[in-house]
Amino acid sequence: MEILEITKRIQELKKQKNAIILAHYYQNPEVQAVADYIGDSYQLSKIAKANTASVIIFCGVHFMAETAKILSPHKKVILPVKNAGCSMADSISYENLLKFKHENPNYIIIGYVNTSAIVKTLCDVCVTSSNAIKIINHYKKMGKKIMYVPDQNLAKYVNYLNQNNPTIDFWDGECYIHHNLTVDELARQKTFHPNAKVILHPEARLDLLQKADFIGSTKEMLDYVKKSDATEFIVGTEEGIRYCLEKDNPTKKFYMLSPKLVCGTMKMTKLIDVENALLEQGNRYEEIKLDQETIELAGKALNKMLELSE
Ligand code: SF4
């Protein structure tokens, strides 16, 4: 009952404020249910840029709301829970990347979108899990030396796909949610569900990825499941994806690869936080504010990504 009442108030507030709610696939189901758009980082950054709403309530983690602000600097972007961070984004600092750039001026810096706005200012181009392989290979074909930051697992996967010819260099960051998945956990799930297709996110380790039937971003996983004739799937990404998987495929069955697939910061946002963000009340929300130089430099890297991934 309470959920229905808050949902109703949120719908009213959205109209009054000319606001839209964007929610990442890893958000709590009730938050995804009130969103105007649900997506992965890449989809949501494109929607944030194209939409005409004057306020964006970004239900996700900090770097995602910053990305929306960079691409839509004239809109008000609000993150409902200011402490919702990302361990992967935290694994690289501006100072360390700046030092690398000074010592290695001939490198192209390719930055995963899971980085802070200030780190993006040092990147030549950004990528997401949907377009990383395409964009990295674009620069490889140009014969550029590449430093990919900060996800070591996606970089190792790209090197594997390219048969290490030549390899790209990479930072040693990772997403703990995907990095901690193991081959043993998968083997255990396979004994219970031997016919299930295994779908994995490229932020998982390479030894696990080598056992997948499909590897892709959250959006690509959803597309794969929709098109697949299979009826059972072992899912190797954050459990919030179940909301869309089950909604889109009511006759198919989904088993999480591990009970650890819950991102604590993604789950911080509750429905009441969305309402408070729209009202701009309380002390949990944050309106994202970035200086002009950060918006311009980080925007250059993000817009290059949008251009190269078309
Ligand atoms: S799932 Fe991983 S990459 Fe995504 S927000 Fe959580 S820690 Fe960051």
pLDDT, tens digit, 9 for 90 and up, residues 285-310: 999 999 999 999 999 999 999 899 87
Ligand 1 atom at minimal distance to the Cα of residue 89: 8
Strands 76-79 and 286-287 come out as antiparallel
Pick the closest to residue 233 from 201, 216, 211, 256 (CA basis).
256
The percentage of the chain sitting over the pLDDT mark of 90, rounded to a whole number, equals 89
Pick the closest to residue 168 from 179, 178, 160 (CA basis).
160
Q: Residue 204 in 3-state DSSP?
A: coil
As a dihedral over the C-alpha atoms of residue 244, residue 245, residue 249, residue 254, rounded to 10 degrees, the angle is: -150
d(CA 239, CA 227): 20
Answer with the residue of higher pLDDT: 1 or 223: 223
Helix or strand run (H / E) with residue 110: strand 107-112
Pick the closest to residue 200 from 135, 148, 261 (CA basis).
261
As a dihedral over the C-alpha atoms of residue 93, residue 96, residue 97, residue 103, rounded to 10 degrees, the angle is: 180
Q: What are the residue ranges of helices labelled H in 162-282?
A: 176-179, 183-192, 206-209, 218-227, 242-248, 271-279
**CA angle, corner 20, sides to 17 and 25, nearest 5?**
150
Q: Cβ(86) to ligand 1 under 6 A?
A: yes
Predicted local confidence at residue 1, as pLDDT: 60
Contact 14, 278 (CB under 8 A): yes
Give the tokens for residue 203.
């932020």
Q: Residue 56 in 3-state DSSP?
A: strand
- Provide the pLDDT confidence category of residue 162 given band limits of 50, 70 and 90: confident
Q: Looking at the chain, how many residues does it have? A: 310
Predicted local confidence at residue 253, as pLDDT: 98
Q: Global pTM?
A: 0.95
Answer with the residue of higher pLDDT: 5 or 144: 5
Ligand 1 atom at minimal distance to the Cα of residue 87: 7
- Report which residue type is found at 169: D
Ligand 1 atom at minimal distance to the Cα of residue 114: 3
Q: Go through the domains of the chain in sequence order and give each one's CATH number.
A: 2-84+266-289 (3.40.50.10800), 89-175+299-308 (3.40.50.10800), 181-256 (3.40.50.10800)
- Provide the pLDDT confidence category of residue 89 given band limits of 50, 70 and 90: very high
Q: Residue 283 in 3-state DSSP?
A: coil
Q: Cβ(263) to ligand 1 under 6 A?
A: yes
Q: Is the pLDDT score of 46 beyond 90? A: no
Q: Cβ(175) to ligand 1 under 6 A?
A: yes
Pick the closest to residue 148 from 120, 112, 101, 97 (CA basis).
112
Q: Which protein residue has the closest C-alpha to ligand 1 atom 2?
A: 175
